Chain A
């Protein structure tokens, strides 16, 4: 629901940073996590990797917050921001 394309008629103000909100959904791809090892402090990979993924979620949403806190976003300007901060997004 958060990734509808921009449509002037619905008054949607879109920022490409919002795409980062999709990154946390990677946690739903369970074949990535469903392993015993490597264990961390004795915890199977399944558990500690998903716990660690909480931080990925926080960083993704955090970047969107920082980049969109001064609304409204101008939807006519091209996205000129540096990609250095985008590391989290690139992993997808």
Chain B
């Protein structure tokens, strides 16, 4: 048990807990009994708050442990996280502005709300909502994996159900202040989280290489390790370059389709706030790139993965916490662990709020209680956020964490299948609503099938062994377009192409038959409404 680390961790954890509860009164509106207030923080966050909020939202604890762990394991391909977050912001720059404006004019809280308005189709909205919830749930569970890797490194590595108790307590506290303060809690805590993370990474990236003989030496050792293992490498090779590119591109397209990302964007005050953030958010990308290289540092330091007492297996997600534990003085390791631990709380809170908003707006109100008042919606969302978090904890405690990792993999691919419905529709209603449904089904089924068929030799699992498919295994109704090719490609990217092809063909048929494409309740000008525009819907009005 590392007491110094644990006490510092505990002090910082308690401090953000206090912040979480106090946040209810920060920039408070007239009422918290409205989704605009509880679920979107009053839709009035400025540039700084939004920067911390979205940064805290997208760069999660799981990212912080998993990306370096991937680089530790495979080398250069794990670095895809950098180009991914470099291209994501310019790609979404224009569509997000349109999404913000149309949502502000019509009072949309979720991306599914927008789809309902755009196509007049509760079914399409339901599919988008379900996809969002299903993709988000395992992501929340993975935040627990990040938090737990830190707890276990500090020596809280019990076995059985009891071994998960600290995790349970941490999430209970989180659930309570999210229930009370809504989006304001993670927005306020994100300041602490991000400042700690920047501090820790900058110190780590300067201090650790100098302690271990410099970057040149570190890369030499890493190169030797990969050469000896006969897999991975510090550069890309002919077989994994396409995977690197398609994974970065597909992940970038998917990033702002996740409901929790949209929540962060819709909570901002205006279009210029979003534009400024698209310029400033890559600061986190730089951080992530540097962090990824800590995977090589861990190789040079000879850091072993700890054995998770609950599963009895070595857990590569403990690589970075263990590196900090062995290389930093205890007091600084404590700060680093707090940074990762709090880094789990912020996204978990925002994700649970986003999932709760989807449930409330697009399932509960649509199918169970059409007459729900804004106050009833807020109540329902608060309860749903509790259920979502409890579900995530049970998922981790009762099942092998490997399931969460598998599901998150699937989640990234299925959320990408909402791209034609949520993003393309911001520009054109050319795709028919039934064609979008057909494309969604096709992309989902194909993506899921391809993932299912990928084995993982490392853990001896026959299915869900990763998100990359060798082109030789690509099969289109039994036709193999690239027989014998070992070149890897990202499954989500192929599934998305399938989705587009199906949607286009079905659209063409339905248009020829003049099938109704639903009623569009949005206007052309809605997509350009700016802060202060008289057409904006009032915030938090019953």
The chain A residues found within 8 Å of chain B, CB to CB, are 1-2, 4, 10-13, 18, 21-25, 27-28, 30-31, 34-36, 39, 41-44, 46-47, 50-51, 53-54, 57-58, 60-62, 64-65, 68-69, 71-72
**Which of these, B91, B235, B249, contacts A44 with CB under 8 Å?**
B235
Q: How far is the CB of B121 from chain A (nearest CB, A)?
A: 20
Q: Tell me whether A35 and B235 are in contact (CB under 8 A).
A: yes
Contacts A2-B93, A24-B90; is A71 near B528 (CB within 8 Å)?
yes
- Pick from A36, A43, A46 the residue with the most CB of B within 10 Å: A43
Q: How far is the CB of A73 from chain B (nearest CB, A)?
A: 10
For residue B472, CB closer than 8 A to chain A, the reply is no
Report B-chain residues with C-beta under 8 Å of the C-beta of A12.
427
How many A-B pairs fall under 8 Å by CB? 128
**Which of these, B90, B214, B245, contacts A30 with CB under 8 Å?**
B245
Assembly CA distance A50 to B280 (angstroms): 17
The chain B residue with its CB closest to the CB of A20 is B90
Report B-chain residues with C-beta under 8 Å of the C-beta of A39.
216
Assembly CA distance A60 to B275 (angstroms): 12
Q: How far is the CB of B458 from chain A (nearest CB, A)?
A: 24
The chain B residues found within 8 Å of chain A, CB to CB, are 76, 79, 82-83, 86-87, 89-91, 93-95, 209, 214-219, 234-236, 241, 244-245, 248-249, 271-272, 275-276, 278-280, 282, 285-286, 289-290, 293, 423-424, 427-428, 524-525, 527-528, 530
Contacts A39-B216, A54-B86; is A64 near B93 (CB within 8 Å)?
yes
What 6 A-B pairs have minimum CB-CB distances, sorted nearest first? Answer: A42-B216, A42-B215, A11-B524, A21-B90, A65-B275, A2-B94
Q: How far is the CB of A13 from chain B (nearest CB, A)?
A: 6
Contacts A46-B235, A69-B272; is A54 near B218 (CB within 8 Å)?
no
Q: Tell me whether B79 and A47 are in contact (CB under 8 A).
A: yes
Assembly CA distance A49 to B337 (angstroms): 30
Q: Tell me whether B79 and A50 are in contact (CB under 8 A).
A: yes
Report A-chain residues with C-beta under 8 Å of the C-beta of B286.
51, 54
Assembly CA distance A41 to B217 (angstroms): 10
Q: How far is the CB of B78 from chain A (nearest CB, A)?
A: 11
Q: Tell me whether B528 and A11 are in contact (CB under 8 A).
A: yes
Q: Tell me whether B428 and A10 are in contact (CB under 8 A).
A: yes
Q: Tell me whether B90 and A61 are in contact (CB under 8 A).
A: yes
Report A-chain residues with C-beta under 8 Å of the C-beta of B428.
4, 10
Selected A-B contacts with CB under 8 Å, 30 pairs:
A1-B424, A2-B91, A2-B93, A4-B427, A10-B427, A12-B427, A21-B90, A21-B94, A25-B87, A27-B248, A28-B248, A28-B249, A30-B241, A30-B245, A34-B235, A35-B235, A41-B216, A42-B216, A43-B215, A43-B293, A46-B76, A51-B286, A51-B289, A53-B83, A53-B86, A57-B89, A60-B90, A62-B279, A65-B276, A68-B275
Q: Tell me whether A42 and B87 are in contact (CB under 8 A).
A: no
Q: Tell me whether B241 and A34 are in contact (CB under 8 A).
A: yes
* Main SS at interface, chain A: helix
Q: Tell me whether B93 and A61 are in contact (CB under 8 A).
A: yes
Assembly CA distance A39 to B95 (angstroms): 38
The chain B residue with its CB closest to the CB of A30 is B241
The chain A residue with its CB closest to the CB of B215 is A42
Report A-chain residues with C-beta under 8 Å of the C-beta of B217.
42
The chain B residue with its CB closest to the CB of A22 is B90
Q: Tell me whether A42 and B218 are in contact (CB under 8 A).
A: yes
Q: How far is the CB of B241 from chain A (nearest CB, A)?
A: 5
Report A-chain residues with C-beta under 8 Å of the C-beta of B218.
42
Assembly CA distance A27 to B94 (angstroms): 20
The chain A residue with its CB closest to the CB of B214 is A42
Q: Tell me whether B86 and A24 are in contact (CB under 8 A).
A: yes
Q: How far is the CB of B82 from chain A (nearest CB, A)?
A: 5
**Which of these, B214, B271, B279, B290, contacts A58 with CB under 8 Å?**
B279
- Pick from A11, A25, A47, A71 the residue with the most CB of B within 10 Å: A47
Assembly CA distance A41 to B276 (angstroms): 32
- Pick from B209, B236, B275 the residue with the most CB of A within 10 Å: B275
Report B-chain residues with C-beta under 8 Å of the C-beta of A21.
90-91, 93-94
Q: How far is the CB of B3 from chain A (nearest CB, A)?
A: 36
Assembly CA distance A65 to B272 (angstroms): 8
